[in-house]
Amino acid sequence: MRGEKKSSDWNPSNPIRHNHTMRSLKKPQNIRFALFLTITALFIASCATVPITGRSQLNLVSSSSMLSLSNEQYREFLRKNKRSGNSAERARVQRVGRKLQQAVERYYRQRGLSSELRSYSWEFNLIENKSPNAWCMPGGKIAVYTGILPYTRNDAGLAVVMAHEIAHAVAKHGNERMSQMLLTQMGGAALGSALQSSPKKTRQLWLTAFGAGSQLALVLPYSRLQEYEADRIGLIFMAMAGYDPGAAVPFWQRMSRKAGGAKPPEFLSTHPADSKRIARIRQVIPEARTYMNR
């Protein structure tokens, strides 16, 4: 009838229509959209910038929390793993590590960013382990395994590895991965809250994020973007430390040849080693060399 309100019109007193509207709000696409908005808001509110590249990244984790947990886990790792008895190679790791530390600190100081490294307490340890591997925790806690020394061969080769791992740390790639895991697995909880509510799970996430677990099968590989970023930043740091970044090409070629076997070296299990990577490195070397002797 003309003038009669259609049943499809909105009527707050109509429970059938009201319930239908509420159900529509609960549709999966609406929930996904709400989740997208939440993640977007978190990213905007928790944005950090990667040095040198200037890329924006998600960082839900405070530096103080990361450094505290890093110190704890590094001490635990050293208790459970034997340090190398080879004094010459230990001295090499210390020598290269200190030069890289000074280069990183100089880079940050020149840009007025020294406060970002104020809580760093650098350590360089050579671990008796046949696995070709190395890693760096937040705060400059570095472990180099004896198994990677046949591939590094000299100070410059070792600088390639250590600078690459230091680059991951100062670029806060682990923080970024930890933030992603806290967001997807623990609802975006802050690290401190996650440690209180689920300490065991949170510590496992942390070890996975930083590649420092005793079982490398637990290590979450860095993204290709993060790997290329660490390559570029690492080459610049090693150049500032006085090492020719050109040493990166033969090092990765040696590692790639080793990866041609049935099982790739553990260092490569979390690092893509292919012709594209080496080609990218070749492109970055001229830029990195401009930082030498600065």
What are the strands of the beta sheet with 123-127, ordered from one edge?
A: 123-127, 141-145, 134-137
**Residue 36 covered by a domain:** no
**Residue 121 covered by a domain:** yes
Per-residue pLDDT tens over the stretch 80-121: 999 999 999 999 999 999 999 999 999 999 999 999 898 899
DSSP 221: P
**Residue 89 covered by a domain:** yes
Number of domains in the chain: 1
**Residue 154 covered by a domain:** yes
Assess contact for 3 and 9: CB atoms under 8 A. no
**Residue 24 covered by a domain:** no
The domain of 68 spans: 56-289
**Residue 43 covered by a domain:** no
Block residue for tokens 């696409």: 29
**Residue 18 covered by a domain:** no
pLDDT tier, 43 (very low <50, low <70, confident <90, very high otherwise): very low
Alpha carbons 213 and 284: distance in angstroms, whole number: 31
Alpha carbons 213 and 77: distance in angstroms, whole number: 9
Task: Give the chain's mean pLDDT.
Answer: 76
E-assigned strand segments in the chain: 47-49, 56-58, 123-127, 134-137, 141-145
Percentage of the chain lying above the pLDDT 70 cut? 60
Record the pTM: 0.71
**Residue 8 covered by a domain:** no
